[in-house]
Amino acid sequence: MNLSGELKQLLSSEFVSALEIISQKADDFGVRVFIIGGVVRDLLLGKNIYDVDLVVEGNAIEFCKFIEAENCCNIERISPDFGTAKITLKQFKNLSLDFASTRTEKYPKKGHLPVVDKIGCTLLEDIKRRDFSVNALALSINKNDFGLLIDYTDGVKDIEKKELKILHDNSFIDDPTRIIRGLRFAYKLDFKLEKNTQILQKEYLQHFNNNDICYERIKQVVKLAFSLNSTELYNEFINSKIYKLITAAPFLKDGFCIKKAVEKNKKLIPNENIWLVYLSCCINLEDTEKLNLNSKELSIFKELNRLKHNKVKINSNYDIYNQFNNVPMESIVAYLAITQDNSAQIYIDNLMNITPAINGNDLIELGFERGRIIGQVIEKIKEEKINGNIKNKEDEFLLAKKIMSEFYN
Ligand code: ATP
Ligand code: MG
């Protein structure tokens, strides 16, 4: 199969020209260069491509140095340990290309980060270290076979069958993050796990040992998966027991309420934090320990935990305000999803932005002395405003005067 037509259709003309330059240089240097991985999958699925991963069968850094010596590109970054290089072509200043060397990997500690075993192996060996057959396709860009599809693992057939198939039976043991990658691809591509892959995943989730998991990596893939803001994905995470990778007992079993709460309050949560709402609806504060969250992420779990457990008696809007004031929005939305407690939505819709119009200077002009009393009066005015007892600045002044007369007499 040759995909040069798809390449021209789904890549920008600038990108195609850049590939043609690389194609010529690959022939001049005498190496085989391929587009590799998910990009080829997306080409076959007819998706527009904005970035390509390239692999050099051999040493990518030496190849990039050759192109640079020919005055065609600038090398932006190299990482010798992995044999990768990032370049920009002189002709297309805004376009950068990522090159990897073909490599094999070993897992000295199963489930943890692999180490590079050999740089410059064959394409086939490089393909074998990948996760799913649909992500293990390569497309030659050498001149004599530009666009030729190389499919060692029946990836094309699996794309047609809409199936995700791992490449060997130890795949999840080597790298359990693939389970969550699979979940993400299943949802994103509307694919299903192939039968044997399904069995091996189930087996892994029944018998794995916590020490064989690198939670740092799990966090990264969970983040990508939950960022898709999907009820179906969350429910599959629960129903397939993938949650076991991070918690013994998931808190919320149905993602419907999470999505509903997120959608209703979407403008208040940065896109990059949506995953934290899903995660905090799923795992407990104690589960976060192993995930190595940063302090901001952790505070979302701590505050949610406080909301869940320190139930305060609510007698007024001001009580609601105090329950949620200064709590991260992600915690409030997760709390809403978990408890369906409408006071959280009342806080967001009606209370959180209420502030007195009157300020400290106004109070001093009225005759208050500087000091703690100013803050206390402002807070009292805020309380009355939140409780709906006063409406405008005039009311605020009247209340301030009343407090002053009581306070100084
Ligand atoms: P996306 O469109 O989500 O970026 P992708 O397939 O390009 O999907 P990447 O995470 O960008 O995924 O990885 C690029 C390629 O690297 C994959 O297609 C796959 O071949 C390989 N890969 C990435 N992560 C793993 C992994 N954990 N195990 C094996 N191979 C992996
Ligand atoms: Mg990618």
DSSP string, 163-232: EE-BSSTTHHHH-THHHHHHHHHHHHHT-EE-HHHHHHHHHHHHH--GGG--HHHHHHHHHHHHTT--HH
First to last CA, the chain: 93
Q: Closest ligand 1 atom, CA of 188? A: 3
- In this structure, are residues 158 and 136 in contact, taking their beta carbons and an 8 Å threshold? no
From CA 56, how far away is CA 41, in angstroms rounded? 19
Task: Report the predicted TM-score, pTM, of the whole model to 2 decimal places.
Answer: 0.92
Name every residue whose Cβ is closer than 8 Å to that of residue 181 and which is 6 or more positions away in sequence: 131, 132, 221
Q: Whose CA is closest to 123, among 55, 29, 40? A: 55
**Residue 289 CA, distance from chain mean position:** 19
CB atoms within 10 A of CB 144: 8
Residue by residue, pLDDT tens for the chain (409 residues) are: 998 898 888 988 899 999 999 999 999 999 999 999 999 999 999 998 888 899 999 999 999 999 989 888 889 999 999 999 999 988 888 788 999 999 999 998 999 989 999 999 999 999 999 999 999 999 999 999 999 999 999 999 999 999 999 999 999 999 999 999 999 999 999 999 999 999 999 999 999 999 999 999 999 999 999 999 999 999 999 999 999 999 999 998 999 999 999 999 999 999 999 999 999 999 999 999 999 999 999 999 999 999 999 878 889 999 999 999 999 999 999 999 999 999 999 999 999 999 999 999 999 998 888 889 999 999 999 999 999 999 899 999 999 999 988 877 6
**Tokens read off for 152:** 């060692």
Which ligand 1 atom sits closest to the C-alpha of 53?
14
Residues with CB under 6 A from ligand 1: 37-38, 53, 130-131, 135-136, 175, 177-178, 181
- Among 200, 199, 185, 187, smallest CA distance to 155 is for 185
Q: Which of 130, 152, 183 to mutate to test the pocket of ligand 1 (most atoms within 8 A of CB)?
A: 130
Taking the centre of ligand 2 as the mean of its atom positions, its distance from the CA of residue 52, in whole angstroms, is 8
